[in-house]
Structure 1
């Protein structure tokens, strides 16, 4: 026990030196992060293990989590040469509006646990990058706070087909009032999955004070200080529906509806008058049905490997879904994007743009909103380089001939 406390004390001293480090040195360290994997490593160093694993982990044995990433490596880029790529155009349009980079912020809940900047920092990062941020219904910052944080940003709002329509309708009304331009309805959560990393840590909201977590908190004094001074550990959008964070979490779990059906989606479409995006699609027939019911876009997603642990990689089912949808709606890819070249491959297989969750939340954990922006910039620069090296002048010009399969499926 004495040795453990000694190690913890030394790490506290080292971390306090980091807290006192001049801002310019912190900026230099952030600028030196040149890949999502490096951003991820910085987040792992900055966060207590229980919080990092909450972000990083998947369901059960994490088979789907690995499949999502590995699927990109089974595709090679087939470059054109002697093309003028002196000024590659990364921009595209989503739901009729332009974005400077085809990387959209995916909905990720309870980001205030990761950094005090939370979803407000993520929204500002995506605004400044010239893209879209999707606010999760289970966010640590409210619909109104995030709009205030990103007054010029393109914002979408995410929700579920919960049991109580009145809750969803109230959230939608607030989103309209704050000029969120689209609703993203997540359809792959009839119940929560077994996230074993969280279970091993006995993860709770707010974090449970047990000896291991106390020591881990001491090793990360910046995170602990922010948690104590600026607590953002509950779902801000449904504040008041429970007396404390634990009761709110229990209430939310009770709202997931295993009986939700296509009729519920049809009803939601009738009540929401703005663009509708359906997220969590893995089958061409489901994609076609969602579009037939009025979806303006579908997101090919397996929840980042956090729900069904034997689901296919999203990239592997993307071409068939894109073909089934055709030009009747837009198709986006979510889950597994870790490089700018991944975005290019997804475009070649039919995605208009990609949603990213973990990369920007890794950035948030590493350095708050500035870290999230760095993660987006890394992906954009990697995409720019990949386009130039494959002879692609404009992202919108990419087609299936740019990729070829390598290795086994």
Structure 2
């Protein structure tokens, strides 16, 4: 469900002639009331359905026709939770099953199922049980492994997973993990650009202080992704289940969350890993309500219609981004299209920081030639002589200096000897006879 080339040309023409608002969506066929039993204890715990005005958004759309790729530890085979929601999958870790549905990791094995259930769990037909934000959206399960749960380096897994998701029809990609470092592997440049170039919305978790993340890390630092911070049930930035950073674009619930484990059991959990799929589900609702909308307009709608946080005067705020997510407003707001991603331009970042030397080589310095006087002419070659006969050079630098030093030495030696003899003779003459 992406903008066609013709639609893209129309969008460009509209921008050149003056921005116009996207028409307000009207409820599609089959979008009657969602089965919702208010007395069901599970459904009652999903406070974000009302807090983020998701129930209201369901009157327009439930995500039909949109595909969310969950790049995580695998979506478990839980028929009552996902039914026919998972339409494809793969494993990029080297240790999972080919369909990407095997839970990977002794600790994180349920993580992918929790994430997927928040985004698109089906809920029971009688209105009971956990239901996702976009209960009619499709899912792709791409299993990755963390640490010992993988035979492939993590950076390679993510790059391959991003491309696979795009090639298999993802309209939204959810990444609920962090690397705890601001930088990222260069292979991610092309992988994320591939998603952006194919008009895919990429939603990323900001990370959690409780897990040791004091500030956001990649992929939340990559320009162009929609980074999600976390708040508690009162809309206050979570101390343990969120972090902070200038790239946070939107906030969503990250405490007191529910998730369906790979074995079908319901679990309670916290973290921006859960806030991200709530926003990914809302992105799916927007794309379903506006089938021709661009990914950058989906992101723009989410941040421009955010509920302001009391006391926050400048946005984006390092804790809340642009505010608290509002699903109904993001779908129905009368907003013009945009011509660039409000969360940044990865291509420009790559040009400046990765390929600047190759793209813009430094000019060679200009130098004035220095005139050097010619060297004197070389001596004419001489005919080679016998090595046993002296040459002019050997006489000049060897024999003559040797003679000059030796002859005086001999003369001095002879003089000393003669003097010694005269002294001895004189002594003999003065000796008396016996």
Asked if these proteins are the same fold (TM beyond 0.5), I'd say no
| Structure with greater helix share of residues | 1
Higher relative contact order (CA 8 A, sep 6+): 1
TM-score scaled by length of structure 2: 0.29
TM-score scaled by length of structure 1: 0.30
